[in-house]
A and B are shown apart, each in its own frame.
Chain A
Amino acid sequence: MSVLVYLESWEGKFKKNTWEAATYAAKTASMLGTEAIGLCIGKLDEDASEAGNYGLSKVLKLEGDAFNQFDANVYGAAIAEVAAAQSANTVIVSATFNGKALAPALSIQADAALLSNVVALPENASPFSVKRGVFSGKGFNILTSDAAKRIVLFVPNSIAPEATGGSASVEGTSAGQGSISPVAVKEVDRVKGKIPLPEAERVISGGRGLKGPENWGMIEELAEVLDAGTACSKPVSDMDWRPHSEHVGQTGIAIKPNLYVAVGISGAIQHLAGVSASKTIVVINKDPEAPFFKAADYGVVGDAFEVVPKLTEEIKKFKAAN
């Protein structure tokens, strides 16, 4: 028995939350009394032995033409084969967009239970049980499975990566070479240098209160000084002020950063559904009655056009002094 974790990379680089996934796997393995093994798929420019620092004993590298582009079924089948070869009965996948696409395929190909939308480390080894988010953040549920094999698909930012100082051996594997995907990738359009929202530890979000896309400069400045991602409410993306990929909430992306700053957002129930799991929420709104204040940790009643630049200035001062 072992725990296998998919160490996701993009364009040869590990993703920000890869070490969170490794930590998740190492802790799950220690609960199950076994070792945690990492799997990297595709070309990698980084040193995979780094995973040892997060508790993995071994990292396997799987390369081949089939993995030059992501495909849910191809990646799922490859992970299933590696899991079988390593007699892994638990596979950890981080719920990025690709993780969410491949985990269901993997669960079918490996004949394993899929426990998804998991928000914490496993609670119990037997029966294997996890806490998952339900009703778009409005509730939790304990999900158990007595299946012989399982996949845990856990939400980014659910636990903090923990360095252990260990080291991992790195080996190639030829298991699961896979077949070429029937889906052709024609173009990949990633916003360069920006933190993908689900992974961002801090998020600055703007709503209809910002009046128009021309006013987003101050949101981006604040995001830059805080090293944060940017998000928006649904009407803002509906009106094309911001791209749909920034729309957070029940029908957009659900996020759980450490800090969520909502500027000119009323706090409708559908918006809260996707952001209320944030650790600390700051609300800036000129209406003292805005419902968002009830869900906030810190509130500022004021005009965003005055408050946001002041806040940005103060953070700059703070950073210069610290």
Chain B
Amino acid sequence: MKVLVCISHVPDTTSKINFTADNSAFDKNGVQYVINPYDEFGLTRAVWLKEKQGASITVLNVGNKETEPTLRKALAIGADTAIRVEAEPTDAYFVAQQIAAVAKEGGYDMIIAGRESIDYNGGQVPGMVAALLGWPFVNACAGMEANGDTYDFVREIDGGKEKLSASAPFVVAGQKGLVEEKDLRIPNMRGIMQARTKPLEVKAPVEAANKTQTGAFSKPAPKSAVKMVDAENMAELVRMLHEEAKVI
């Protein structure tokens, strides 16, 4: 079984977000990058498949050379090989085309990605890949178990959950529940040493035009100062929520 895990390289969750002086781009200065938190769940799930069923894991990133430490970290966690498609990932459609091309060529049985990346929050790439390949798609996947020839999934829906089943090949866009957070793998010394010698292939992108262009960035308007209300005077809070904020 061949598993392709998509890895997005994103600012650490504690990052302060700033844009360049002309607001045309994200300011990467001083920002630490990590494996997208949703992708970490997918990667650990793939490592379980490897341990229990002998899967092989390829991690894939579409990005420039800066993302290689993130791919090496994924190798240290347990992936066998890594592929980096050498291109700036400026448009979800473009990225999806690259992933679909790698998947077609490599004969993978499943693709595991994250529900969304925490930088651009698009949540588009995995569903596009599934549609490009004509494979079933399980979005917001919070559980996945092999059951003979098919797989059982849990998918988050508005206000609840759904249980699904499908056979490979498929695309899963995962989140917590694929594994629990306490079970996330972190690289150990042996993994880090091994990762140095594992293959990391750099591929040229396939031809695909962007469908969107990124314009100016801005920040949310600053909040006005908080109004403190005495804990003994909840009637006053209710009055303010009704008269000023008009939310009740």
Using a CB–CB cutoff of 8 Å, the interface residues on chain A facing chain B are 10, 15, 71-73, 76, 96-98, 100-105, 107-109, 112-117, 127, 129, 133-147, 181-191, 194-199, 202, 226, 238, 244-245, 247, 250-251, 254, 258-259, 269-270, 273, 276-277, 279-280, 282-283, 293-303, 306-307, 310-311, 313-315, 317-318, 322
**B131, A104: Cβ atoms closer than 8 Å:** yes
**B229, A299: Cβ atoms closer than 8 Å:** yes
Which residues of the partner chain A approach B248 to less than 8 Å between Cβ atoms? 202, 226, 259, 315, 318
**A244, B237: Cβ atoms closer than 8 Å:** no
Which residues of the partner chain A approach B228 to less than 8 Å between Cβ atoms? 298-301
Which residues of the partner chain B approach A143 to less than 8 Å between Cβ atoms? 212-215
- Interface: B204 (CB within 8 A): no
**A136, B139: Cβ atoms closer than 8 Å:** no
- Interface: B64 (CB within 8 A): no
**A134, B139: Cβ atoms closer than 8 Å:** no
Q: Measured between alpha carbons, how far is A186 from B234 in the docked complex, in Å?
A: 47
Stretch at the interface among B81-89, B119-127, B186-194: B119-127
Scoring B residues 229 to 245 as 1 if CB is less than 8 Å from chain A, else 0, what string do you get? 11110110110111001
Shortest CB distance A31–B (Å): 18
Q: Measured between alpha carbons, how far is A136 from B66 in the docked complex, in Å?
A: 22
Shortest CB distance B5–A (Å): 18
**B139, A145: Cβ atoms closer than 8 Å:** no
> Can you list 23 A-B contacts (CB < 8 A)?
A73-B136, A104-B123, A104-B126, A105-B127, A105-B130, A114-B122, A114-B128, A117-B122, A127-B213, A135-B26, A139-B217, A143-B212, A143-B214, A189-B162, A190-B159, A226-B248, A244-B142, A244-B176, A250-B118, A251-B118, A295-B223, A300-B230, A317-B238
Q: Measured between alpha carbons, how far is A101 from B137 in the docked complex, in Å?
A: 8
With A141-B214, A143-B214: A183-B138 Cβ-Cβ less than 8 Å:
yes
**B237, A114: Cβ atoms closer than 8 Å:** no
The total of chain B residues at the interface (CB under 8 A) is 82
Q: Measured between alpha carbons, how far is A153 from B127 in the docked complex, in Å?
A: 13
**B215, A129: Cβ atoms closer than 8 Å:** yes
Q: Top 10 nearest A-B pairs by Cβ distance?
A: A104-B127, A302-B231, A142-B215, A190-B160, A196-B159, A196-B158, A108-B131, A101-B139, A113-B211, A138-B17
Q: Measured between alpha carbons, how far is A113 from B210 in the docked complex, in Å?
A: 9
Shortest CB distance A50–B (Å): 20
Contact residue among A141, A197, A313 (Cβ-Cβ distance under 8 Å from B159): A197
Shortest CB distance A188–B (Å): 5
Closest to B173 in A: A101
Contact residue among A144, A186, A297 (Cβ-Cβ distance under 8 Å from B212): A144
Shortest CB distance B212–A (Å): 5
